[in-house]
Structure 1
Amino acid sequence: MNEYKHILVVADVNNVEQSALSRAFQIVRDLPCPAPITFFLSIYDFSYDMTSMLSSDERDAMRKGVIHQREEWMKEVAAPYMKDGIELNIKVVWHHRPYEAIIAEVFAGDHDILLKATRKHDVLESVFFTPTDWHLLRKCPCPVLLVKNHDWPVNGNIVASVHVGSENSTHIELNESMVKQGLNFSKQLHAELYLVNSYPVTPANVTVELPEFDPTSYTDAVRGFHLTAMKALRQKYGIDEEHTRVSEGLPEDVIPKESKILDAGLVILGTTGRTGLSAVFIGNTAENVIDKINCDVLALKPAGYISPLDPNE
């Protein structure tokens, strides 16, 4: 897989520590030609646009003043992460919808990956994803890496949630993309990659409606099919059998369980980018998994995905 050419990092205004920026430098520091990093922030204050006592020029001057203050703050918080030979560009924009501003910058800067910090919920001991996070997961055209505020574990593991049981071209392409991204990150973060796949439990109603149905044989056949498909995928990329897991159950149960067992520092998921009412009421597998894991998450879109915010559409 090609190395990243342009990396976009969203600043975390709630913390002096910038976990996403730290991870970006960690990713590029060992590359022969480190990719430039854009440190980005979208800000907005309703009061500056509604001050009727000021002229439009005065309001514009005030906005520029606020932007300048934020730029200086970003230079300050970025300083501890700077590495020789790595280009860092700081950009602050005035926009009332952060996720729209971020995605607009993805398109404008032709960024290969977006990094953004997530927040940890102390009570539930899980990662708390903001509305902006969910919008980015659904609508951002490039891979989205949501980063926990912690150091990458020494000799950490990466889990790629593949779906080898499907013959759907979208799932096949996502599997390929997840493995390639996983191998890339394993080299850059000095980690081990594991491929994890789940297969469905035998429906209970089938055994009731069809007395002659043999659930054991059916389950063995389904597991065998998934094992064979997993073998083909791992062999294609030279991955050892010990680095694969095929387990019975739903992905939203299997992936968090295996990630905890493997002490994963990063989980790679494929997301279809569902939007609209179907996203509100149905959601998708990736989002159900994300709710249950407490580590960095890399979300990938299928090939040919078109963002609803694509300026060219």
Structure 2
Amino acid sequence: MSQYQRLLLIINPALRHSQAINHAAALAKASGASLHIAAWIPSLKMLSLLEQGEREKARERYLQDHRDWLNAQTTNLRGRGLDVTAEVDWADDLRQDILDHVLEMQPDLLIKEVQHESALKRAFFTPLDWHLLRHCPVPVYLVSGSGFVLPRKIVAAVEVSDTEGPDNELNERIIQQATALAMQCNAELHLLYACDISAAFLADMGGLTLADLTKALRRDLEKSFLKLAGRYGVASDHRHFILGNPVTALSEFAHDHQVDVIVMGKVQSHGVDKLLGSTTEHILYQVPCSVLAV
């Protein structure tokens, strides 16, 4: 049986050239899952300038236009053999409306197109995508507008610096989710660990030099990574132990190897009390591929 039985796609109906519907439909077709498309529209402030009667008519015309468009999309998808439902409505609080819908529907996966925000805006407001990464109770699949609708190369990004703690359980979920997606899409599965050895890890111990400690730590981390890869049967040429900052290393790897999806943890410790959640959030604006956050 497929891991995905029910998919929920969130779209902005004003972005009619978005590839999100095609990505979600392709995954639903490959997995045999049902697909529900929810299109929510933030209230239009400019309508407040109209008289009450005209305002309501304008709101209804605007809403109906988007409903007609989405109905045409779903009719086309049903013609391709997909089990698709859809809704269009106003959003009073988009963030909460999405989370409430997830709790009510209990989908296996929440799908949404990545919404790029400027660094200045991110400094003052939490982007919607970041909010979903932090608070959504199900895996979040944030698709990019480029690439193939079905992924051909999937990378599971893991953390092996603490194999006895919560990281180990999250690694399992990351690999299981990546494996399931790869099986559904007949894609390559790769395992990657971005090893960031900084001075924060190191101390003067027993007369060892900083270089000695760095080599010893790298050797231990690589051994843990290979052990994890072996446990899940990842082919030797699909194992990638990379030195460097996680965001930079993952971004460069995704560009150089034409990765379609990176599967990561929403919140995962990295080194000493660091969060991979922040890495996942920032990765959204650095990589040319989709991100599946577990």
Shorter-normalised TM range: 0.7 to 0.9
TM-score of the superposition, structure 2-length normalised? 0.81
Indicate yes or no: 2:265 matched with 1:270.
Answer: yes
Per the TM alignment, residue 261 of structure 1 is displaced from its structure 2 partner at its CA by 2.3
Equivalent residues of 1:115, 1:147 under 8 A apart = yes
2:260 is paired with a residue of what secondary structure?
strand
Give the number of equivalent residue pairs.
281
Q: Which of 86, 102, 114 is equivalent to 1:90?
A: 86
Q: Which of 149, 156, 159 is equivalent to 1:163?
A: 159
Structure 2: how far apart are the matches of 1:237 and 1:291? 30
Per the TM alignment, residue 23 of structure 1 is displaced from its structure 2 partner at its CA by 1.1
Q: Which of 30, 37, 40 is equivalent to 1:39?
A: 37
Residue 175 of structure 1 is matched in structure 2 by: 171
Indicate yes or no: 2:167 matched with 1:192.
Answer: no
Residue 248 of structure 1 is matched in structure 2 by: 243
What letter matches 2:15 in structure 1? N
Listed one character per residue, the Cα deviations across residues 88-139 of structure 1 (whole Å, up to 9, x for unaligned) are 1011232222222111111111111111112579xxxxxxxx9222221222
Structure 2: how far apart are the matches of 1:14 and 1:241? 45
Residue 150 of structure 1 is matched in structure 2 by: 146
Structure 2: how far apart are the matches of 1:95 and 1:213? 60
TM-score of the superposition, structure 1-length normalised? 0.77
Structure 2: how far apart are the matches of 1:185 and 1:105? 23
Residue 123 of structure 2 is matched in structure 1 by: none
What pairs with 1:82-161 in structure 2 (closer than 5 Å)? 82=78, 84-118=80-114, 131-152=127-148, 156-161=152-157
Per the TM alignment, residue 69 of structure 1 is displaced from its structure 2 partner at its CA by 3.0
Structure 1: how far apart are the matches of 2:207 and 2:74? 66
**Structure 2 residue runs without a partner (length 5+):** 118-125, 270-275
Residue 226 of structure 1 is matched in structure 2 by: 221
C-alpha spacing 1:83/1:30, structure 2 compared with 1 (3 Å): farther
2:30 is paired with a residue of what secondary structure?
coil
What letter matches 1:142 in structure 2? V
Indicate yes or no: 2:21 matched with 1:10.
Answer: no
Per the TM alignment, residue 201 of structure 1 is displaced from its structure 2 partner at its CA by 2.4
Equivalent residues of 2:152, 2:188 under 8 A apart = yes
C-alpha spacing 1:252/1:48, structure 2 compared with 1 (3 Å): closer
1:3 is paired with a residue of what secondary structure?
coil
Runs (4+) off by over 4 Å: 46-53, 58-66, 78-83, 204-207
Indicate yes or no: 2:24 matched with 1:29.
Answer: no
C-alpha spacing 1:206/1:94, structure 2 compared with 1 (3 Å): closer
Listed one character per residue, the Cα deviations across residues 157-199 of structure 1 (whole Å, up to 9, x for unaligned) are 1111100121353211221111111111112222211111122
What letter matches 1:173 in structure 2? E
Q: Matched residues, percent identical? A: 24
C-alpha spacing 1:205/1:143, structure 2 compared with 1 (3 Å): closer
**Structure 1 residue runs without a partner (length 5+):** 122-129, 275-281, 301-313
Listed one character per residue, the Cα deviations across residues 178-231 of structure 1 (whole Å, up to 9, x for unaligned) are 111111111222221111112232429968x78943233322222222222222
Residue 278 of structure 2 is matched in structure 1 by: 284
Structure 2: how far apart are the matches of 1:235 and 1:206? 28
Worse-matched range after superposition: 99-108 or 148-157: 148-157
C-alpha spacing 1:54/1:48, structure 2 compared with 1 (3 Å): farther
Listed one character per residue, the Cα deviations across residues 15-41 of structure 1 (whole Å, up to 9, x for unaligned) are 32341221112112233xx21111111
Structure 2: how far apart are the matches of 1:88 and 1:206? 54
Indicate yes or no: 2:194 matched with 1:236.
Answer: no
Q: C-alpha root-mean-square deviation of aligned residues, in Å?
A: 3.4
What letter matches 2:37 in structure 1? F
